């Protein structure tokens, strides 16, 4: 989540708390407060969606890495070893069973693994005659299906995060506009009550992150040396 958006939502939440303590009484004014509450609720929902999407993508990516290592070490490597023997009788297999490297892009890894499986299934009897373990091809197919599912889970999580982020930007802009509108209303409402006006201004204030302006020598205001 963008830090500025988080601070804006926090300010709106504080503002709503203030307005519950000092509510408006006119319907049109109440409608503005209701609109702000609706936008804050939507922003909070989008933040949860954003975080959940990021977590899902991260989890699926980690799971995919584990599956990939297992595929290479436990299934593709034994298959490639048998393919080397079969290739003496079927030369067209030479070069088809090179193991995908560890850092190969996952699309390339999937394509190479699927091709290796398909070629072995088409020559099942020859592979079995040369020592391919029973059930290896079935296990390879199942693991590749799991690998594909992990890719889709990662993509879905990323999509959810991106979509939530895009809408959250729009909602935050609406929240900012509503806070400005309410600020104008409260500036007039509390024009003769400095204490309540100060309370409102403190509540709706969106703090900016503190920047360290000290230079290399530690003096405030001294310019830091260029990198």
Residue 101 pLDDT: 72
Q: Residue 56 falls within a domain, yes or no?
A: yes
Q: Residue 129 falls within a domain, yes or no?
A: yes
Tokens of 190: 């509390």
pTM over 0.75: no
CA distance 9 to 50: 15
Residue 195 pLDDT: 96
Which of 99-106's residues contact partners 24+ apart within 8 Å by CB, and which partners?
99/72, 100/72, 100/76, 102/69, 102/72, 106/64, 106/68, 106/151
Q: Residue 209 falls within a domain, yes or no?
A: no
Q: Please state the domain count of the chain.
A: 1
The burial class, CB within 10 Å (0-12 / 13-18 / 19+), for 220 is exposed
Q: Residue 103 falls within a domain, yes or no?
A: yes
Q: Residue 222 falls within a domain, yes or no?
A: no
Q: Residue 34 falls within a domain, yes or no?
A: yes
Domain residues for the domain of 152 are 3-204
Residue range 87-146, pLDDT digits in tens: 989 888 888 888 777 677 888 899 999 999 999 999 999 999 999 999 999 999 999 999
Identify the DSSP state of 2: -
Using pLDDT thresholds of 50, 70 and 90, give the confidence band for residue 33. very high
Q: Residue 227 falls within a domain, yes or no?
A: no
Residue range 164-205, pLDDT digits in tens: 999 999 999 999 999 999 999 999 999 999 999 999 999 998
Q: Residue 26 falls within a domain, yes or no?
A: yes
């Amino acid at each position: 989540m963008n830090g500025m958006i988080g601070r804006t939502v926090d300010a709106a939440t504080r503002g709503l708390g203030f307005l519950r303590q000092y509510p408006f009484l006119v319907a049109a004014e109440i409608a503005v407060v209701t609109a702000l509450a609706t936008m804050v609720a939507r922003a909070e929902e989008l933040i949860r969606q954003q975080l959940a999407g990021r977590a899902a993508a991260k989890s699926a990516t980690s799971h995919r890495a584990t599956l990939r290592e297992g595929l290479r070490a436990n299934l593709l490597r034994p298959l490639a070893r048998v393919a080397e023997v079969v290739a003496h009788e079927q030369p067209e297999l030479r070069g088809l069973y090179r193991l995908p490297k560890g850092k190969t892009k996952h699309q390339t890894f999937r394509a190479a693994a699927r091709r290796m499986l398909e070629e072995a299934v088409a020559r099942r009897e020859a592979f079995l005659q040369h020592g391919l373990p029973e059930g290896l091809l079935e296990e390879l197919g199942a693991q590749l299906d799991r690998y594909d599912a992990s890719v889709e889970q990662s993509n879905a999580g990323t999509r959810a995060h991106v979509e939530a982020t895009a809408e959250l930007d729009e909602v935050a802009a609406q929240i900012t506009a509503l806070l400005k509108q309410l600020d104008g209303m409260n500036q007039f409402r509390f024009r003769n009550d400095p204490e309540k006006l100060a309370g409102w201004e403190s509540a709706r204030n969106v703090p900016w992150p503190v920047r360290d302006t000290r230079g290399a020598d530690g003096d405030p205001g001294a310019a830091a040396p260029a990198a």
